[in-house]
Structure 1
Amino acid sequence: MNLGSRLLGMAFASADLLFELKDGRIAFAVGAGPVAGIDPASAWSGRPLSEVLDVQSACELTDNLAALGSGRRSAPMEIRVVTGDGRARRASLRAFVLPEIAPAISCALSWTGPAFVLAVTTEPPILDARGLISRLEDVMTSPGADNGLSVAFVEVPGLDTDSDEHRAASARIESELQAASLNGASACRLSADRFALMRGADDLTDLVRTVEAAAAAEGLSLSATTATGDLNGAESAVAVRTLRLALDACLKDGVAAGASFGERLKETVADADRFRGIVRAREFHLVYQPIVSLESGAMHHFEALARFNDGPRAPVAQIAMAEELGLIEGFDLAVAEKALVQMRKAGFGRAKIAINASALSLTGDAYVENLLRMTAAATDVRDRLLVEITETAAVADLEAANRRLAVLRDAGFKVCIDDFGAGSASFDYLRSLQVDMVKLDGVFVHEIATEQRARTLATHVIQLCADLGVATVAEMVETQAQADALKALGVNYGQGWLFGRPGPTPTSQTQSRPVARRRGEVVGWG
């Protein structure tokens, strides 16, 4: 008996079926099929793995196999193999990537029970736009992921008609598009007559014909318009941002907006490269706006605000883009670097500066470690720096973020929650993060002066901060009446045009009488 026969016998001693996967397809199979009459050697060879499994099993197995490295054996995976007659059979599968034949995957399958009738609904529910974006991110960030993906946009005029036939056709079209999507679980419904789905870049399924056939099965004659954009191996963050913008455009302007997906992708890549260049060359500058005590009118500290050199306005859109593309941490550190240069200039004294940091910069240790390194040679500057955590992007792991902020506070830095009241995460931040200050968002400040509901909420927030020993700052204060109202509510500090506009150097522009300070007195944050 030759070695090959012995090895095959040993394999069958622990498995009922052996098969090899190449590029998601079954290259060959040998062993017992799920039911009598199905010989995997002929019935499965050349077919996509997704065609022999139920939808949920196909999705889970595809994701698990994508994460399997060369020379690694998977843990047992429970799957369901369809038999083509409305039944399925459960099995346990283990996979192994032999380095000599990688990326082919060797699979051993053992049946774990008799065939059973599948439930009628095995198809996962169709996604919404947010779910599709999350699905794309998961697929593209999976270990060993193949970025050969495309996104198809489908519009079916007339599908939003309210009749039994149209509702039935709508359900069938939705089901067919889901089945045509990546792993049968990557389609989303944008509106009554618009869809989007992820597919393999080489998938040639005619979606127009698919939609028309589904409508005809319900007795309707409907046509579809489609547009497809390839991701062309784009970075995950670039692809996710492009898809989000494309879905917004498609929802607003119809599927025709999807035709510009490729151009939008190129623009996003160019925007990312341009932003990296701006950070690398430090092609931005800082302006400084004063924050004053509402009680005494005395200068308290300055906020450093970034301005790009090609325009006078705050870079709100570019900052949002940098957060989406994972470029914000480098920018936040560059801002800190420029602020530190200003603080070390002759004549600056003991003035204090607040610098902004995206919440995303707290998702790892690098921002904190670099800020500590940048101030290691002159640690006295740390007690004059306030790090304002902006809420434009939410912190996912608040416990980990709080540990990193604790490191900064232990080193002497002060920490502020910025944009409080602008987003849903504000109270989560206040509850979970140990901070020294809370800055009330300008819109919230405006509502305090105009709406009783907002004023009542603000009263409780300000009192809560006081009870916690956390100072409060109100931004966008433009009139003395606003300042007086905020002071009456207990807000500690104010920022806005009433006290001074942002300027190129940290200089007070207020008309308030300065408070005298004793020689040698250190200005604190209290």
Structure 2
Amino acid sequence: MKMKSRLLGLAFASADLLLEIDGERRVAFAMGAGPSRGMDPSAAWTGRSLDSLLGKASLSAVTTALDAMAPGVRSQPIDILVHCGDGLVRRAQLRAFELPDLAPAVSCAITWEGPVFTLALPPVNEMLDAQGLLGRVRQAMTGPEARTDLAFDFIDVPGLDGTEEAHRRAATRIEAALQAASLDGSGAARLAPERFALVRTASDDRDLATDVREAAAIEGLTVEVASAHTSLSAGVVPGMALKALRFALEGCIRDGALSRPDVAFSDSLRRTMQDADRFRAMVRSREFQLQYQPIVDLNTRVTHHFEALARLGGTTGPASTIQMAEALGLIEGFDLAVAEKALGQMRRPGFGLIKIAVNVSGASLANDDYVNGLMRLTAATPDLRQRLLVEVTETSAITDMEAADDRLRALRRAGIRICLDDFGVGAASYDYLRRLSADTVKIDGTFIADIVTSERSRTLVSHLVQTCADLKMTTIAEMVENEAQAKAVTALKVTHGQGWLFGRPTNEPVLAAGPTAPARRLGEVVGWA
């Protein structure tokens, strides 16, 4: 066997194509397999500039490597994109070596990777937004062929929001790559100019970050990619998983947490599921406390009723937990548990005269379960209904006002009073006032905080009080903390007040000092009149 043949065999054992380029980086010699079937690299490439054969993304790396070449030193492998003609390209890896006897010529070995593909922009199914993505997941988890073998991926591509043509084309290629990897080719979303998310099967182990980098490289862009991958737990309840996904997704977008996608979404989803489990356990075991804050008649300063305030795990601000429970559909059970505890307090000896207000989320009015549950809790002692007030909070928007109003009317027919809580904070406050049957409106404390110094706040409160009076509704000013505020809201004809001036929350209802309440006649039912 000739030595030349042996060396050639050894060379082709580690490469598909051998090139020699001269000092001006033209192809002086080519032997081996071309990038596409039927192409003879010796005939097609000899005499051509190497630069004309490479893609834009490859050119910079190859130039840098060749400029640094020294006799007897082998280059590191370089990922390149090679033109095959007619808009086709193929990925490859190039290694270069400079023999001292051949300098300045450089020997190159090229190994092809993957098939030939087109540089034309691929067609892309329309990208979803965040809500569309959740809808796609819901469809997959609850459809005729429901499945839970799903995974969520977040892809962050900083710098992709440029206005240059290359950025636009790169974004299109990235969208196509992510859609191709997504569930049925239609489960990818673009959440922001630089941020993507998709749902795919959990068994799919392709490296999406590499796909994104390669898609951008075709357009000459070098991008850094951060990604997060989260599989849904086996046996997870689809409804809960969807709500947890929504809560975690909205939290990531709202908090900008995708700047660390390696931890943000997966940790948020894990914490959400854990928090949901803890919340359900707390409701089942009733391991939360109620404290009672007095609400007084502003003209007499006599305690009119108490608001039952939930204290979760010793905290004084359960707002974030309540928000989570509303988002995950857990709030209805909690609202009924609060009512149950408050009714228990009202039944205790010595508390037969007190009236108590309990909060109910707008989400709990989405069906009949809360109203039916409250009726069951008071069925044995219906007189308690006349001492109970339900405060409708606006933390979760009511989607069907007409149905919610029907449920509130049912409570009112049973003798239970209705209050619209935190009026003036939510965007739907006046819509609630217009469309929901109620007896009382509670004015949010943000209006009361500057009621003494702000003419604007006084005007707004004055108009609201007059509107409520015309509708035969009473009003409550919350967060009244000093005498000046109390006098200001009294002057505006607000009927009741709540705040530290009149009493802080206590573990049991404590009547505020004031004129002695009249004795209760035997058989008398204490109501709100």
Query: Is the contact between residue 291 and residue 301 of structure 1 (CA under 8 Å) also seen in structure 2?
Result: yes
User: What CA distance in whole angstroms lies between the structure 2 residues aligned with 1:132 and 1:395?
Assistant: 23
Give the TM-score normalised by the residue count of structure 2: 0.69
Cα distance change, pair 477–175 in 1 and its aligned pair in 2 (3 A): farther
Conserved in 2, the CA contact under 8 Å of 1:133 and 1:244? Answer: no
8 A contact 1:299–1:514 mirrored in 2: no
Q: 1:287 to 1:398 in 2, by over 3 A?
A: same
Q: Are 1:466 and 2:477 counterparts? A: no
AA aligned to 2:284 is R
Q: Which residue of 2 aligns with 1:492?
A: 495
1:167 equivalent to 2:168? Answer: yes
CA drift at 1:425:
2.2
Which residue of structure 2 lines up, in the alignment, with residue 245 of structure 1?
A: 248
Q: Distance in 1 between matches of 2:478 and 2:137?
A: 38
**Partners of 1:451 and 1:178 in 2: how far apart?**
55
Match of 2:308 in 1: 304
Q: 2:431 aligns with which of 428, 442, 464?
A: 428
- The residue number in structure 2 matching 1:282 is 286
Counterpart Cα distance in 1 of 2:205 and 2:198: 13
Distance 1:134 1:385, change over 3 A: farther
TM value normalised by structure 1: 0.70
Q: Which amino acid aligns with 2:212?
A: V
Verify: 1:124 aligned to 2:100, yes or no.
Answer: no
Tell me, in whole angstroms, the C-alpha distance in 1 between the residues paired with 2:474 and 2:186. 49
Taking the TM superposition and a 5 Å limit, the aligned residue runs for 1:112-511 are 123-127=125-129, 129-137=130-138, 139-142=140-143, 144-233=145-234, 234-235=236-237, 236-245=239-248, 248-249=251-252, 252-254=256-258, 256-259=260-263, 261-308=265-312, 310-446=313-449, 448-449=451-452, 451-509=454-512, 511=513
Cα pair 1:398 1:433 within 8 Å, conserved: yes
Q: Deviations over 1:151-195 (max 9, x none)?
A: 111111221334332234234434543454334443333333222
What secondary structure does 1:303 align onto?
Answer: strand
Give the drift of 1:481: 1.6
Asked if the contact 2:307/2:356 (under 8 Å) is kept, the reply is yes
- Give the match's secondary structure for 1:356: strand
Unaligned runs of at least 5 residues, structure 2:
1-121
CA offset at residue 442 of structure 1? 2.1
> Is the Cα contact below 8 Å between 1:151 and 1:199 reproduced in 2?
yes
Larger gyration radius, structure 1 or structure 2: 2
Deviation at 1:145, TM superposition (A): 2.4
Contact 2:483–2:501, Cα closer than 8 Å, also in 1 = yes
- Deviation at 1:443? 2.5
Q: Does 1:514 align with 2:515?
A: yes
Q: Check conservation: 1:211, 1:223, Cα contact below 8 A.
A: no
Question: 442-451 vs 487-496, which deviates more?
Answer: 442-451
CA contact (8 A) 1:387 1:416 kept: yes
Say if 1:137 and 1:240, in contact at 8 Å, map to a contact too. Answer: no
Unaligned runs of 5+ in 1: 1-119
Shift of 1:339: 1.0
TM-aligned CA deviation for residue 378 of structure 1: 1.3
Provide the secondary structure at the position in 2 that maps to 1:376.
coil
Count of equivalent residues:
403
Q: CA deviation at 1:444?
A: 3.8
Q: State the alpha-carbon separation in 1 of the partners of residues 388 and 456 from structure 2.
A: 34
Distance 1:136 1:273 in 2: 22
CA contact (8 A) 1:238 1:268 kept: no
User: Aligned-pair RMSD on alpha carbons?
Assistant: 2.7
